[in-house]
Structures are given as C-alpha cells and as structure tokens.
Amino acid sequence: MTAKIIDGNAVARHVRSEWKKRVETLKSRGVIPGLAVIIIGDNPASRVYVRNKVKACAEVGLQSEVHEFPANVAPEAVIRRIRELNQNSAIHGVLVQLPLPPHLEPRSLLGEIAVDKDVDGFHLYNVGGLVVGENNIFPPCTPYGVQCILEYEKIPVEGQNVVVVGASNIVGKPMALMLMAKEATVSICHIKTRDLAQYTILADILVVAAGCPNLITAPMVKRGAVVIDVGINRLPDGRLAGDVDFERVKEKAAYITPVPGGVGPMTVTMLICNTVAAAERKAAKNAGNKNPVTV
Ligand code: NAP
C-alpha cells in the first residue's frame, strides 16, 4: 500500500476560498474583519510566522496590523496595548506571537485578550469551552487545521482509535479534546509514555506533534492508518522534516501528511477562519441576532 499524500496547500486554498466568500458577505454589510498581531523581540522564526499571517490576511481580504515591541518591553506596556485593541471596533482578532522573551509570562498576557477576540484560542475561557464542548469558542489553529484536513479528506473519526503523540497546550491536548468531541477513542502519549509503539500501532488515526524527527517509524504504524505529522524540525543539513519517517511510513499508511506542505499551511488558514468568525459574531451581536454564526 502507498498512502495518499495529503496536499495541505490544496486544502488550505479550498478553505480560504470558502471563507473569502464570507468575508465578501461581511464587506457588503460594511464590516472588514481585522486582525492585530503583537510581536515582541526579534525571534527570526516569529517574524516569518507574522509575515505569513499578514500575507494570508491580505489574500482573503482581511485587514491586519502588526504591533512591535522590543524584547525588553515592560509587561504593562503590552497589557495596555492589548486593552486598547480589545476596545478597538475595527479589530476582531488579537494575538500575541509566541514564544515570548523569558521575563514575560504568557498566561498573564494571553489572559488579557478579550475572549471574543482570542482568535488563537489560548485564553482559559476558550480552553475550558473546548473541554465542555461549547460551540461558540475559537479552536486553537493547528488542531483545528488537522480537524479540517480530516473533514476535507472525508476521513471518519467517530469510533476510531486515535493516538495523539505530544501533549502540549497548543497542539496535543486540544487535538485530543477536539477528536474526543467527534466521538473518537483517544489516547495521548508524551515524553514519559512507556513503549510508545504499543499505543501507536493501535491507531486508526495517528497525530504526531512532538518535535522529534523520525520519532515514528514504519513498524510503529498500523497498516492502513491515517498519519498526520504536525512536527516541524530543522535538520542539521538545513532541510525541514516532521516527526514521522515519511518515506517508509507512506508505504504502510492509507493517508499521510508531508512536512512541509501538510499541516503547516492549515495553521495560518484557521487563524483567518477564526478572525472572520469573530467578525461575524460581532456583526450578528450588533444586529441583535441571538443566533450568531458558530464555527
Ligand atoms: P512542545 O510544547 O514542545 O510539546 C511537545 C510534546 O511532545 C510534549 O507534550 C512532549 O512531552 C512530547 N514529546 C516530546 N518528545 C517526545 C517523545 N520522544 N515521545 C513522546 N512524546 C514526546 O511542542 P508543540 O508546540 O506542541 O509542537 C510540537 C511540534 O509541532 C513541534 O515540532 C512544532 O514545531 C510543531 N508545530 C507545528 C505547527 C504547524 O503549524 N505545523 C504548529 C505548532 C507546532 P512532555 O509533555 O512530557 O514534555
């Protein structure tokens, strides 16, 4: 068996074109969705991510603005800016690009973002909403992108054995919650998991987000499994690789995502979706609609 290689760029193009129509509807009602990105310091990777977000906004018809601060900024200055953006009616989504310089505490800054503008989905309200299955939250962009890939490829989730390798707050844990909400049977593995393979071999759907190249080898994967590789690793020779031994696992799996070109393009796409959804909810609220659009 050779797996179908999922083209994340094609899925992202499809999703963006669907959401572009929603942006046009909003524009016809005088609303332009707006995203504000706060970047602190000069981490080169963060700068690339922010540039990609700005570019994606322009492509789908959103307005975006970047608020830059030096690495040694006082937390109060950032909090002041977040509060201003919370009050700004032209801005529907606010995010703080992570990671932060060590003197800044992410939880306290992220907690300042208004819940209805928290398009990264990192505010505790949105995290809690994910736990209890609340509809009107913003799902974190990377697991939301994986969910969207599964839907696009019409891969059933209900009743499937799902194994998520990686238990971070931004990828692994929300991924597990989102797939549980779709009635999968989910196991979460992490660095202390004993004998990782005994879990991965049972997975109908294997989602890997550990940040370890070649962590998942072919003998660890069930024949016919769906393998979603979230990992992004820079190899010593400069190439990018995921966490899965792509060349060998693709001979065994039914579906596999490549790195690059798999989950990556979906993350920024889902940020756009969340920002448009935020603008739609705000517009519905302003119009007194008691049934705002949900994602
Ligand atoms: P993270 O915060 O470092 O979390 C990594 C998780 O993997 C942790 O739960 C860790 O376990 C677990 N882990 C690490 N090594 C492991 C091993 N050998 N066996 C089993 N579990 C292991 O990273 P993250 O932010 O979730 O990101 C994970 C990967 O996804 C990274 O490569 C990152 O670059 C990539 N990523 C990609 C996108 C995208 O758009 N494609 C977006 C976000 C992240 P412990 O909890 O026990 O430490």
Give the pLDDT confidence of 173-232 residue by residue, as tens digits: 999 999 999 999 999 999 999 999 999 999 999 999 999 999 999 999 999 999 999 999
Spacing, Cα 96 to ligand 1 middle (Å): 20
Asked whether the whole model's pTM tops 0.85, one would answer yes
The yes-or-no verdict on residue 261 having pLDDT over 90 is yes
Residue that is written with structure tokens 């660890």 in the block: 220
Closest to 3 in 3D by CA, of 235, 203, 251, 220:
251
Neighbours of 50 (CB within 10 A): 19
Beta bridge partners of 69: 40
For residues 150 and 269, give the distance between their C-alpha atoms in angstroms, rounded to a whole number: 15
Nearest atom in ligand 1 to the alpha carbon of residue 192 is 47
The yes-or-no verdict on residue 33 having pLDDT over 70 is yes
pLDDT value for 194? 97
Of 116, 120, 204, 245, the active-site residue reads 120
pLDDT value for 295? 45
Strands 205-208 and 226-229: parallel
- Contact between 188 and 164 under an 8 Å Cβ cutoff? The reply is yes
Any alpha helices (H) in 29-140, and if so which ranges?
44-60, 75-87, 106-110, 124-132
- Asked whether 11 lines ligand 1 (CB < 6 A), one says no
Closest to 225 in 3D by CA, of 248, 257, 254:
254
- Asked whether 210 lines ligand 1 (CB < 6 A), one says yes
Nearest CA to ligand 1 atom 18: 191
Amino acid at 244: V
Domains of the chain: 29-115 (3.40.50.10860), 141-264 (3.40.50.720)
For residues 59 and 35, give the distance between their C-alpha atoms in angstroms, rounded to a whole number: 13
Of 97, 118, 160, 250, the active-site residue reads 97
Q: Is 53 marked active-site? A: yes
Spacing, Cα 208 to ligand 1 middle (Å): 8
The yes-or-no verdict on residue 290 having pLDDT over 60 is no
pLDDT value for 292? 52
3-state DSSP call for residue 131?
helix
Amino acid at 62: L
Spacing, Cα 211 to ligand 1 middle (Å): 5
The yes-or-no verdict on residue 71 having pLDDT over 50 is yes
For residues 124 and 28, give the distance between their C-alpha atoms in angstroms, rounded to a whole number: 34
The pLDDT of 60-64, averaged and rounded, is 98
Spacing, Cα 201 to ligand 1 middle (Å): 19
Q: Give helix then strand counts, H and E, for the chain.
A: 10, 11
